[in-house]
Structure 1
Amino acid sequence: MVIFNNDLLRDLAEQRVVLFLGAGVSASSAIDGSPAFKGWPEFLKDAAKSRQEHLRDQVIDLVKSKDYLLACQLLQDDYEDEWQELITEEYGKAAEPSRLHKSLISLKQRLLITTNFDKLLETAWAQCVPTGNRSFKVISQIEESVFRCLKDHDTPYLIKLHGSVDNTSSLIFSRSEYIRLAFGNNRYATFLDAILLNYTILFVGFSMDDPAISSLMEMYALNYPGARPHYIFAPEGGRENIAEINKKLRKLSMIKYDASENHTKLPVLIDQLARSANEKRREIIAANVAALDY
C-alpha cells in the first residue's frame, strides 16, 4: 500500500490540487479492445502514409526523434485544408471514458487541465456529477476569461490547454500553432505560473516532453526554490537520474506505480488516493468542529 505525502492529501481534501492530464489518460479509453484514439506517433505516421515518399520519410525520422511538432507542421502544410478534417475524424470519435477517467473525477477536485483535445473528460465528468449539483465550465482557449477559475471557487472548470476538437481553430498541434498560441501567448505562461504558485499540480498520463510545460516547471523551480513540490504519477522502473532531474530542476516528486497489464493498476492507486483524501477531509472537519467547541 502506497503512503501518500500528507501535504498532498491535505491539498486534495481542501480542493487545492489541479489535475493535469496528458495523453496517457486518453490512451486508457478503448473501442473494441483497442485504444480509442491514436497517440501522436501513430497518428502522424499514419497521416504520412499517403504523402510523397520524401515527406513520408521525413515525418518518420522526426517521429523517431520525438520532434512531433515539426512532423505535424510538415504534414499540416502539405494537407492544407484537409488537415483539420483529418484531426476531427480521429479525435472527434465518440468513445466511452475509461475507469481511469472516472477514478480521476472521484478525487473531487475543482480544476482539471488537459493537453488532450478529445471529449472524454467532458463525458466522464458529466456522468459523475450528481443530479442537482453545479455543472462544470469548459474553457478551450487561453484568453482573459481563463483567469476567472482562480477565484470562482464555487464552479468546477475543465481547461483544455491545447484546444478542443469541436473548435479546430483553438488546437495547438503543430510548431507554428505552438509558437503563436503557447510560447507567443503571454496569458499561457501567466496562467500556468499562477496555477503553479497557488495550487498543487498532480500530473497524470503526462510525460513532461511538452516543451512549454517543462520549461515553465523549470522556471518555477528556479524562481521559487523554497516553494512546495508538485507531483507526477510515473511507472516503476524509470531511471533514477530522470527522477532526480524532475526533483531538482522542476520541483516535481514522482509517485511510482506498477505499469504492468497496460497500466490497469493506476486507477486502483488513484482510488486509494481518493479514499485517503476523504479520510483527511473528515479529519480536518472534525478538528475544525473541535476548535469551535473549545
Structure 2
Amino acid sequence: MPPGDPRLEALASEVLEGRCVAFVGAGFSMAPHSDGRRGPPSWLGLLEFLCSELRERNPEIARKLGEWLRPTSGGLSALDFEAVGQALADELGEAFEPAVQKALRLGAAPPGDEDQPTTLWRRRKLLREIPFRAVLTTNYDTVLDDPCDELDCRSCGYAPEASYWNLLRTGGGWWQHGLWSNEESGSSPLRLVKLHGHADGDPQKNPIVLGRKDYRRLLYGDGRYANFLRTVFATKTVLFLGVSFTDAYLNELRSEVLQLLSSQLGPQTRPPPWYAVLKTSNELQIKYFEEHEGICLLPYAGEGHTGLDAWLEALWERTAPVQRLRALFRSRAGRGHDPASAVDVVWYDPNLQNNQYGFGVFEEAGVRVETIERLEDLRPDHLRAKLLLTRFGYRPGREPEAVELLGKLANWGGERPPVVVFAAPSPQHAAENRALALRHGAHEYAVHWDELFEVIERLFTPRFGTTA
C-alpha cells in the first residue's frame, strides 16, 4: 500500500472515534501453518467431512450428497452448499453439532505465542488490539475465542442478541477502557458476536447455522437478527475481513441499507460506509465495489494472503491504544523539552501501587514517566515535561495536595505542562473536587482510565483545538 494511503487514514479515523465494527469471515481463519494445516476447513471441506461422518450411518445418502458436492462446469452455488448442509443436519440429527466440532478440532493448529508466532496467532492478536467497537463473525470455530472473555456472548456460546445493547447503545473512542484492556487479567477483551452459532457453545442458545432452513430462520423468522444487522450496517463503519460476499442474505441486507443511504454517497458527497480487504488488482472491480456496493476496497495482490496481514498491521499501527499513545506523545513538545533526556510525564502520588496499570501502559507505549511521592520533590525542571499527573489528595483542614501542587507551579511562573488530576472515584464529591481543581489551574479532572486516555487524546490532538 502507498505511504499515507487516504483510504487507510480515513478508516483509522473511524476506528479511533469508536465507529468501526469488524466483520470477520471464513477467509480470516484460513491462514497456513508451519505443519501444512490451514486452520478450520472451508465451507466445502466441512460439508465433505460431514459426508464422511454420515457414511457409517447412511452410506447411500452420504454417497449422493458427496456427488452433489462434486464440481460441475458451472461450479457450486451458495444454494448448493446450503441445501447439502441442510440435508446433512437432517440426517445426522443430534450428532450434527458434535460432528462439526470434530471437524474444527481436526483443522485446529497450534495457537502460537510470542516466542512462536504463527500467521493466525499474529492476525488474531492484531484484531484484538485494534479498538473495534465490536467484532461480528459468521464463523463458528474457536479461532477468535478467548477463555478469559466474560462479556455477553464473546466466547461462551450465548445467544448473540445478548451483545446487541453494548454495540448499539454504547459509544466512545479508542480510549474506552473496556474495548481494549482488562486491568485484572491483563488480557484484551474482544467484543465478539457469533452470528452463525458457536461450535463449542450451547446448541440451545446459539446453534450452528449451516443449512438452508437455518438461514431462512435467521433472515425471516427472527426479526431481531435482521434488524440488528441493518442497524449495524446503517450506523457503523464496517470493515470486512476474509469475507467473500457470497452470502445472499447478507448481501440483501446490505443492499437495503445501501438504498437507504444512496442519496448521500458518492465522490462529491460522502465516502463509502464500508471497507473490505480483498485480493484483487482489477481497477474496474475496485471501482464497481465503491460506486455500486458502497464498499471501499483495500486491495492486495501476489501469492497467498499476506496482503490482508499488511493492511491489518498498518491499521494496528495507527489505532492500537499503545500505538496511539506513543504517537500522541511524540507529536507534542514540552517547554524546553530535550527528546534525549527529558521525561514525558511527571506523576505525583504517594501510593504508587495505585497506578501500576497506567505505568505499564505508558512503558509499553514508550512514554517516559518520572514518579514522585512527596510534593517537596517537585522541581522546576519538571516544567519541561509534556504532562503532569497528580492525585487530588484530600486533607482534612488543609487544601488538597493537587491545589498545593498547582500553587507551587504558579509561583514558579512561566510556561508549564498541562496538569491533570487523576483521582479516586468519589461520587459524592467528584463535581466539587473537579471545580476546585479547575479553578486553581488544572487542565482536567479524571477518575477512570478511559477518562484519562480521552483527556490525553483531546489535549494532544490538533483537531480538538490544542496543538503542540
Instruction: Specify the TM-score bucket, using the shorter chain as the normaliser.
Output: 0.7 to 0.9
Higher RCO structure, 1 or 2 (CA under 8 Å, sep 6+): 1
Structure 1 residues without counterparts, runs of 5 or longer: 127-133
- How far does the alpha carbon of each residue in 1:179-228 deviate from its partner, in whole angstroms, 9 at most, with x for none? 11233221112111211222100000001111221111111111111154
On the 8 A contact 1:201/1:231 being kept in 2, the answer is: yes
Partner of 2:46: 43
Partner of 2:318: 276
Q: 2:69 aligns with which of 45, 59, 65?
A: 59
> Aligned partners of 2:463, 2:50: CA distance in 1, in Å?
60
Q: Are 1:234 and 2:312 counterparts?
A: no
On the 8 A contact 2:14/2:237 being kept in 1, the answer is: yes
TM-score (structure 1 length as normaliser) = 0.83
1:77-156 map, 5 Å: 77-92=90-105, 95=109, 96=111, 97-123=120-146, 136-139=151-154, 140-143=158-161, 146-153=164-171, 155-156=178-179
On the 8 A contact 1:48/1:55 being kept in 2, the answer is: yes
CA change 1:290–1:193 in 2 (3 A) is closer
TM-score (structure 2 length as normaliser) = 0.54
Identity across the alignment (%): 23
Partner of 1:159: 193
- How far does the alpha carbon of each residue in 1:145-172 deviate from its partner, in whole angstroms, 9 at most, with x for none? 5233222345442111111112234211
How many residues are paired up? Answer: 284
Q: Are 1:252 and 2:295 counterparts?
A: yes
SS of alignment partner, residue 202 of structure 1: strand
CA change 1:257–1:137 in 2 (3 A) is farther
Greater shift after overlay, 56-65 or 280-289? 280-289
> Aligned partners of 1:279, 1:209: CA distance in 2, in Å?
35
CA change 1:144–1:240 in 2 (3 A) is same
CA change 1:290–1:179 in 2 (3 A) is closer
How far 1:58 moved relative to its partner?
A: 2.1
Partner of 1:18: 21
CA change 1:4–1:105 in 2 (3 A) is farther
On the 8 A contact 2:137/2:193 being kept in 1, the answer is: yes
- Structure with the bigger percentage of helix: 1
Partner of 1:176: 213
Output the amino acid matched with 2:77.
Answer: S
> Aligned partners of 2:250, 2:463: CA distance in 1, in Å?
40
Structure 2 residues without counterparts, runs of 5 or longer: 112-119, 180-190, 266-270, 332-456
CA change 1:216–1:244 in 2 (3 A) is farther
Runs ≥4 residues deviating over 6 A:
none
How far 1:259 moved relative to its partner?
A: 4.6
SS of alignment partner, residue 239 of structure 2: strand
Partner of 1:68: 81
Output the amino acid matched with 1:114.
Answer: T
CA change 1:288–1:135 in 2 (3 A) is farther
> Aligned partners of 2:280, 2:99: CA distance in 1, in Å?
35
> Aligned partners of 1:101, 1:290: CA distance in 2, in Å?
32
How far 1:268 moved relative to its partner?
A: 2.6
CA change 1:65–1:198 in 2 (3 A) is closer
CA change 1:54–1:121 in 2 (3 A) is closer
How far 1:26 moved relative to its partner?
A: 1.3
Partner of 1:129: none
On the 8 A contact 2:240/2:277 being kept in 1, the answer is: yes
On the 8 A contact 1:92/1:165 being kept in 2, the answer is: no
Partner of 1:287: 461
> Aligned partners of 1:7, 1:265: CA distance in 2, in Å?
19
Output the amino acid matched with 1:138.
Answer: C
In terms of Rg, which structure is larger?
A: 2
